[in-house]
Amino acid sequence: MTPVTSLSPGLVDEIVLVDLVALGLSIVTVSIVWYGIRRIFPDEVRDVPFFLTFIGVVVPFVMLIYFGLAVINYDAIATGTGWPPILPLSALSPLVVSAVVFYIGQIAWLWWSWRE
């Protein structure tokens, strides 16, 4: 198979759609879980260790699931169109850097909600 030298608009749209769906699903899932925890454990949510455990365990787990599926889908799309596979990821790949930036943003949003 000869490598593709340019991305077709349909392929770019599919990749962007999958990434946006992963981003939206992770935000919605973390929001629902945070809302549920605030309703179930109203006194414990105010504790700093509880909050740090939430942002250290729940948020990375949700991101790992959704963004992991998005990376696997992106790898399948890239391989199917003749681009080299992106898996395994290097430590400073754009996907890892963007996931870290999103994680920091998600934590900032949760911290803002937690402070209220």
Name the 3-class secondary structure at 34: helix
Distances from the Cα of 14 to the Cαs of 18, 95, 113, in angstroms? Answer: 6, 16, 33
77 touches 25 (CB < 8 A): no
Could you tell me which of 59, 21, 60, 22 has the C-alpha nearest to residue 37? 59
- What are the two backbone dihedrals, phi and then psi, of residue 32, each rounded to the nearest 5 degrees? -65, -45
DSSP summary character for residue 82: T
Alpha carbon distance 51, 58 (integer Å): 10
Give, for all 116 residues of the chain, the pLDDT tens digit. Answer: 445 555 566 666 666 777 788 888 999 999 999 999 999 999 888 899 999 999 999 999 999 999 888 888 888 887 887 877 878 878 887 778 888 888 999 999 999 988 87
The reported pLDDT for the residue numbered 86 is: 78
